[in-house]
Structure 1
């Protein structure tokens, strides 16, 4: 009864709520358009929120830019441009430009260049971008997400149009900037600070050579102007970290990638302002302990629940021990990936000593020296809490280790991702050892070994038949499509076979922060 009401349009609020979950699934949204008018009315705006993220193609029969430029009649009356003769469409059923929520300057520039080539349009790409932005503005589009890359040739036109139309960017929640030092970018940042106070996520990728006094001043003002900023991502841009103290009451997540920390950074001043942090990530950084150290002070109360350490160069482990000591009871989502081998066991010891409520774990180098024994202890410790587990090794994992791992897998485990060389005999032994895991929903296997492929696939097939799995991914160094076809033919009726990247879970997918 409820289902029939849903499809008949009697429950529009619930229908809209359900379709929101499909906003990144274009195929499903296209199908929803054909169900009825209500589904079509809800699905169309979702499909047109971020059209520039659609993969580039010069073979599309009808490009979304054709539809946008069909609105030029009205726009040209206001802005005095000549019509583009290559566009000739019937009156549109929806006001498609008004649905735009996301702009990536680089992708927009790339799409227009491909479109010019396929339509043989002679107008300059920069001019086309200017016209396109004015179409959005004329039709009252309001952005949710904006990514600026100021190395593209059309950046000056983009800035000029936006600077004259503050309403277009006044509601932005997600702002990202990749800058190589274009002279007008600080001016744009200043304008953004004055006209937008709603940003929740900021991402900076600014080359070291580009950071100067004017940049720093405008970025500081941008931080100061945001009343609800909660997430910040610094990529290659360490000199901006002082700005963190200006959003202390709202900031919950910080990510650092490719940062070389040094003693000259005044992290102590930032630390005392960041007591609300819930998520911290370091990836490809050098000496992250310099940022960590002030948080090791017991007088600074932290309740971090997500910590990601990915292939960093660490000089001193002691600050991390103090950090784990302070945040251990609150930590739920933890990934320690490809850290230096001589610190791996230290991290495992910290987990065993200080953590109590881990739900997500990602381990690498599980076969190194004493690591297996420590991992066994950790799995036993979190047997009733752990729901998501990734185990990774660069080489083969012995059958005894695999057998023990299988036996110690938590009974309530929902997600398992294993990445290492494994032969069919050992894989079968592992599967037999974890028969007690009844709630497993997603199984991902990345096997670097291509030997005995048919036997391995048959073992996976038999294991899946005895489980209530919902999703499966199996990859090797061979072509995935052939494996996918085989598995779909054999077990597609009982489990959905997907690409690895479609199934892999990261802490940010489940912690509700990033």
Structure 2
């Protein structure tokens, strides 16, 4: 009983360390109990390598460990095909590592195999053989799978067919392509009925009946992400209507402005809408002509009149529909919005935030260099605002003016300022310290998180001042070279 209590306590502690991989790795060496609890967390999702420098080392370690866990018949099959991958140690594995996996990714397996077996003399069918044996190990050993990413490699194919896959019944998240083998989709639809999230990358116009059946058979589908380029997602829309009341998040990702958007209004309970069209600027060399003809997002003119009483998050991270459409949409749906992210926005859109979005908490709209008063208006009108991202540069607001405005006009709940530098610009150390002093004297006192994206404030004097006020507990400072809000929605993870 005492031993189990200790394990439960350690388990709770290690859960808090899930993002701190360095500390978790040090726990592996304490004793067998610590090692087992740590391995269980580290092997939940082994497909994301944070550092490119250690990618090969991590991939090699993971693959050799998995090969060591293969059944004897799989090892013999690899040896017969002259594939020799040494185990990490001469001893048998301490644990059946595959059983701890909660995220399974064909893309991840492909990436690991390609990194480790990069010898050009090793033909693709041998890489395919390794990938398939590893995949069979996972499907036979995982008892409870939460997320499956199934994308096909153009050079070789993982033959994902399962007669025995106990973990599939617990699957809650699926990322896949629209042309997956019908037998796989049929098998999955027979055992998996509790998907919460489905992400589909459309690679053909024809959607199989098996994919439609898989979507239709889900009991409580909440999130849908559709990604299409030359293809269309229109064929899947009637099937989605079965979930019209349960869907709360919808992400549409494309570069084709002629794709249907009007169907979005058929899902009245949406809490989050993302419309991400990142590559539209490549369509035309004449930017003005492009702006006039394609940025309208033709179907959004119908969507502007839709009412979503539960909508809390709206993101349009790249190119935006016509301004008048967005303004009307915010007039109808801004009351409950808590987060708004519009990259290519306009003065009218910024003013509509002040007029129609009184409960907004997190905001990113762009301001031109003569629109400082609009920022002040938003601060005064949106008293629940906690976080804002502001672009500063030659054509946008000045950093010094932004800092002064934040110090004097931001509401009492405000505690996070993100500054994105669109061009090289600095603020003097005197102005920076004056801002920190103003923030220190604010009532009520709140720790300010100051995030710099793509440069700025990087003089040695400024960094000294920043460190000074970090130690005083006035600010928390972060530097980022990209903004996660601008990352494409993850259709392959």
Q: Find the counterpart in structure 2 of residue 322 from structure 1.
A: 305
Q: Find the counterpart in structure 2 of residue 306 from structure 1.
A: none
Q: Find the counterpart in structure 1 of residue 107 from structure 2.
A: 106
| Separation of aligned partners in 2, 1:428 and 1:275 | 40
Does the alignment pair 1:426 with 2:362?
no
| 3-state DSSP of counterpart to 1:281 | strand
Q: Find the counterpart in structure 2 of residue 360 from structure 1.
A: 339
Given candidates 315, 320, 326, the residue that maps to 1:347 is: 326
Whether contact under 8 Å (2:272, 2:313) holds in the other structure is no
Relative to structure 1, the CA distance from residue 204 to residue 372 in structure 2 (aligned partners, 3 Å threshold; closer, same or farther) is closer
Aligned pair count?
A: 451
- Structure 1: tracts of 5 or more residues without a match: 1-7, 287-310, 510-514
1:459-492 CA distance string (max 9 Å, x none): 6655665553253311235798999976764444
Does the alignment pair 1:76 with 2:91?
no
Give 1:362 shift. Answer: 3.0
- 1:6-85 correspondence to structure 2 within 5 Å: 16=11, 19-20=14-15, 23-27=18-22, 29-30=24-25, 41-55=36-50, 57-59=55-57, 63-72=61-70, 74-76=71-73, 81-82=78-79, 84=84
Given candidates 225, 231, 244, the residue that maps to 2:240 is: 244
TM-score by length of 2: 0.74
Higher relative contact order, chain-length normalized (CA < 8 Å, sep 6+) = 2
| 3-state DSSP of counterpart to 2:418 | strand
Whether contact under 8 Å (1:129, 1:154) holds in the other structure is no
Whether contact under 8 Å (1:336, 1:362) holds in the other structure is yes
| Separation of aligned partners in 2, 1:488 and 1:39 | 39
Q: Find the counterpart in structure 2 of residue 211 from structure 1.
A: 205
| 3-state DSSP of counterpart to 2:452 | strand
Q: Find the counterpart in structure 2 of residue 290 from structure 1.
A: none
| 3-state DSSP of counterpart to 2:208 | helix
Give 1:196 shift. Answer: 2.3
1:291-346 CA distance string (max 9 Å, x none): xxxxxxxxxxxxxxxxxxxx9633366534431xx33x5433334556657x4255
| 3-state DSSP of counterpart to 1:54 | coil
Q: Find the counterpart in structure 2 of residue 391 from structure 1.
A: 365
Q: Find the counterpart in structure 2 of residue 169 from structure 1.
A: 168
Relative to structure 1, the CA distance from residue 190 to residue 387 in structure 2 (aligned partners, 3 Å threshold; closer, same or farther) is same
| 3-state DSSP of counterpart to 1:63 | helix
Whether contact under 8 Å (1:416, 1:442) holds in the other structure is yes
Q: Find the counterpart in structure 2 of residue 334 from structure 1.
A: 314
Does the alignment pair 1:413 with 2:411?
no
| 3-state DSSP of counterpart to 1:175 | strand
Q: Find the counterpart in structure 1 of residue 98 from structure 2.
A: 97
Q: Find the counterpart in structure 2 of residue 191 from structure 1.
A: 187
Q: Find the counterpart in structure 2 of residue 220 from structure 1.
A: 212
- Structure 2: tracts of 5 or more residues without a match: 280-293
| Separation of aligned partners in 2, 1:60 and 1:228 | 37
Whether contact under 8 Å (2:362, 2:388) holds in the other structure is yes
Q: Find the counterpart in structure 1 of residue 420 from structure 2.
A: 446
TM-score by length of 1: 0.71
Relative to structure 1, the CA distance from residue 278 to residue 367 in structure 2 (aligned partners, 3 Å threshold; closer, same or farther) is closer
Relative to structure 1, the CA distance from residue 365 to residue 127 in structure 2 (aligned partners, 3 Å threshold; closer, same or farther) is closer
Relative to structure 1, the CA distance from residue 404 to residue 34 in structure 2 (aligned partners, 3 Å threshold; closer, same or farther) is farther
Relative to structure 1, the CA distance from residue 88 to residue 336 in structure 2 (aligned partners, 3 Å threshold; closer, same or farther) is closer
Relative to structure 1, the CA distance from residue 333 to residue 78 in structure 2 (aligned partners, 3 Å threshold; closer, same or farther) is closer
Relative to structure 1, the CA distance from residue 400 to residue 231 in structure 2 (aligned partners, 3 Å threshold; closer, same or farther) is closer
| Separation of aligned partners in 1, 2:197 and 2:111 | 25
Q: How large is the RMSD of aligned CA atoms in angstroms?
A: 4.4
